[in-house]
Structure 1
């Protein structure tokens, strides 16, 4: 575990940001985003970080030049990323494919990777130095869609940080883009998977009609204690295989690793918040819907948002009293609700309810990044020491977390949960987690 009070300090020298356009001419057109893409809850940038050690076998290659050149080649195929997002009638978002390019920053830091010690997981020390212009992170319209900084380290390693505009891609789509970028960096002439736009697949019907129950979008007022974002702290929790085995012993039936970690997070967080027993709490699980479509071959290469976050709902009292197995069952039931029809219903709801935000009161959201395997993103320097989200939270919503595969400083493989809570709630969360794990 590591909190934001890390003593490591270092200085980064940045060159002025430049725009990297596609390496060849691309279509000049306007492309509509889907009605799943442009919901209110996705109008933010999410920072991803990839950390690489020095690779002696490729001494002499400058990672900045390699990545920058490969990026321009990749944008020939993913040219909408080189455009700008515009907002039209009814807040409908679209991409103006201008070919202007993505924002790219070259930098150098006076620090070695070894100096990070066990800080190679969220939250990262001096993170604001590793990504230019973080102050405007929430702005997405009429701005570069990608913001990238590559920072060389004294040891010969480097750190890549990207702001990924969630309107454009989900986790699966982001990994597809990253894979294409790495292929170009390693000498390929085109991506092995050709990108597919096809946002019309997830457009609202005409006329739109809601056919499923979407409690994740309920607009409710509640006396539930909300997090004071001024006192939020960030901390990551590392789960060894032995920890996951301990959690499984608390569940009286078979369950997935995702289910048991999600249940654990939900229960510990709810107890840490010290809610009243009658207060409603909900856990929204990100479900990749691609496999749920009858013709999922049509989605091969699709890099837009294609997921839902159905809500498991109960009261704080029931969740805390009934044990981990109860939470697991609630989570399992809502995950199977996501079907092709469910996704179409969400698209229709977005039009009918004017792109409403998901329920934030009493809510938390979790996304599983284990299958995306971001650590395997390899530009030629080998797999990343760390690859994944740079912090917990999602835009202005602190109640989001991610399950990220990670190898700790001792070489142990495990999973981390980067979370955001107030300092006092974080202490209670850590205590509840230790008790649940029998530490």
Structure 2
């Protein structure tokens, strides 16, 4: 029994030992190739779906339909390993996924708004193998169904970003849901040849996101001394419009997208509240979906990580002293760099040099505003809430404000004093 005190109440979650779900029928064995783009994002995506209704059979239905879904999404049943050259590959001989049933002693409302990551809540609702000691030990997929007293349930998932990006993960979850309702979704494409590195490589770099930044501002100490907290900030359509007008005021720009406007404000404010010195390099990495970047489009059902990043690099002094129009323009130009040649050159570059990524002075923006997590119906209606689990300290996620609303919710983590200052800046906007 795991307990947690929230708002004066005690939440208790009782988990039964996991069962291991295998594909319903035979799946390919051997080793599953991972592209350089897959290799570049080795972390877990933890997500929590909230459903207000269920039945006594909910766990059985999800477990049985998962076995059917895994026939098509079989790489998720494998184990991460290294090939002879030290690159990640999936060993598809394992063929099982941990599935956990749990019961909570409270109503769903007591767990609060899951869009704000809470490590304690995440640990209660998302199963993590306690025996894991390294990245190679991490399961590529785990699932936990937690029933609540109100009759609702949550589905907590942990999926390796090395195997699937957000779009591919949603394709898996929505296919699983369709199977649970008795449907027969289309199978995904596992042809990994599309994103292999070229021989010989053709390099278009260098890439600013691989620049190693020195911590001139002692930010590491701030993160170590203070409690890191997560918070969400709602940018209403009115607030977004005000930011756009500020960016257009000096005549430098002809237009300003919502994404560029919100990203510019977040990057500038975060750099300010982390007390970056004027000479401190600061890096903005923007995760970009590359599905639309190819002249000959990739299959729409391609399963994998079709995400790369583009980067803005400047000093904190330049970032905060120049008008916001300069920041927006820098973001727009970075996004415009991403075309098919950029992607293929980046694949080649990573394959040749295997450059490390570091978090010092870095903000990573990942927009989830177009993911279809609101239509994941396993038979008891669409989810009423969606949480993104724990966040890495450099990661900032954009979520839609909610059904029928046109704003953006920004979710991020900061040291406590920096978060207080960031809140004040946003409130003053």
TM-score (norm 1): 0.88
Contact 1:272-1:425 within 8 A present in 2 as well? yes
Q: Does 1:64 align with 2:59?
A: yes
Superposed, 1:91-106 pairs within 5 Å as 91-98=86-93, 100-106=95-101
Separation in structure 2 between the aligned mates of residue 229 and residue 294 of structure 1, nearest angstrom: 46
Separation in structure 2 between the aligned mates of residue 43 and residue 346 of structure 1, nearest angstrom: 17
Separation in structure 1 between the aligned mates of residue 330 and residue 7 of structure 2, nearest angstrom: 37
Count of paired positions: 416
Separation in structure 1 between the aligned mates of residue 231 and residue 314 of structure 2, nearest angstrom: 26
Q: Does 1:288 align with 2:286?
A: no
- Give 3-state SS (helix, strand or coil) of 1:233's partner: strand
Map of 2:416 onto structure 1: 423
- Give 3-state SS (helix, strand or coil) of 1:9's partner: strand
State the 1:212 CA deviation: 2.9
Separation in structure 2 between the aligned mates of residue 419 and residue 336 of structure 1, nearest angstrom: 25
Separation in structure 1 between the aligned mates of residue 295 and residue 133 of structure 2, nearest angstrom: 35
Alignment deviations for residues 144-177 of structure 1 (CA, whole Å, 9 cap, x no partner): 3101111011111111111110110111111111
- Give 3-state SS (helix, strand or coil) of 1:299's partner: coil
Contact 2:369-2:400 within 8 A present in 1 as well? yes
Superposed, 1:283-362 pairs within 5 Å as 283-296=284-297, 298-353=298-353, 355-362=354-361
Of 197, 211, 223, which residue of structure 1 is paired with 2:216? 223
**Distance of aligned partners of 1:220 and 1:116 in 2 relative to their CA distance in 1, 3 Å threshold:** closer
- Give 3-state SS (helix, strand or coil) of 2:327's partner: helix
Greater shift in the superposed pair: 103-112 or 275-284: 275-284
Greater shift in the superposed pair: 413-422 or 164-173: 413-422
Q: Does 1:50 align with 2:41?
A: no
State the 1:359 CA deviation: 4.1
Superposed, 1:33-432 pairs within 5 Å as 33-39=34-40, 42-54=41-53, 60=55, 62-98=57-93, 100-117=95-112, 119-124=113-118, 126-133=121-128, 139-188=134-183, 190-192=184-186, 194-227=187-220, 228-229=223-224, 231-252=227-248, 253-296=254-297, 298-353=298-353, 355-393=354-392, 398-407=393-402, 414-432=407-425
Tell me which stretches of 4 or more aligned residues in structure 1 moved more than 4 Å: 4-8, 134-138
**Distance of aligned partners of 1:399 and 1:256 in 2 relative to their CA distance in 1, 3 Å threshold:** same
State the 1:136 CA deviation: 6.4
Alignment deviations for residues 98-135 of structure 1 (CA, whole Å, 9 cap, x no partner): 25211111101011123345x34212463221123366
Contact 1:21-1:99 within 8 A present in 2 as well? no
Contact 1:204-1:348 within 8 A present in 2 as well? yes
Contact 2:117-2:388 within 8 A present in 1 as well? no
State the 1:331 CA deviation: 0.6
Alignment deviations for residues 335-391 of structure 1 (CA, whole Å, 9 cap, x no partner): 0111111111121122221x2222423111001101113232222222212224123
Contact 1:375-1:388 within 8 A present in 2 as well? no
Contact 2:16-2:101 within 8 A present in 1 as well? yes
Map of 1:26 onto structure 2: 27
Separation in structure 2 between the aligned mates of residue 292 and residue 283 of structure 1, nearest angstrom: 21
Contact 1:44-1:137 within 8 A present in 2 as well? no
- Give 3-state SS (helix, strand or coil) of 1:204's partner: coil
State the 1:275 CA deviation: 1.1
- Give 3-state SS (helix, strand or coil) of 1:330's partner: helix
For structure 2, which runs of at least 5 residues remain unmatched after alignment?
249-253
**Distance of aligned partners of 1:71 and 1:350 in 2 relative to their CA distance in 1, 3 Å threshold:** same
- Give 3-state SS (helix, strand or coil) of 2:25's partner: coil
State the 1:424 CA deviation: 0.8
State the 1:182 CA deviation: 1.2
Separation in structure 2 between the aligned mates of residue 415 and residue 138 of structure 1, nearest angstrom: 37
TM-score (norm 2): 0.90
Separation in structure 2 between the aligned mates of residue 86 and residue 369 of structure 1, nearest angstrom: 29
Separation in structure 2 between the aligned mates of residue 136 and residue 6 of structure 1, nearest angstrom: 31
Separation in structure 2 between the aligned mates of residue 28 and residue 370 of structure 1, nearest angstrom: 35
Separation in structure 1 between the aligned mates of residue 197 and residue 224 of structure 2, nearest angstrom: 34
Contact 1:388-1:404 within 8 A present in 2 as well? no
- Give 3-state SS (helix, strand or coil) of 1:348's partner: helix
Contact 1:128-1:134 within 8 A present in 2 as well? no
Contact 1:225-1:273 within 8 A present in 2 as well? no
For structure 1, which runs of at least 5 residues remain unmatched after alignment?
none
State the 1:421 CA deviation: 1.0
- Give 3-state SS (helix, strand or coil) of 2:219's partner: coil
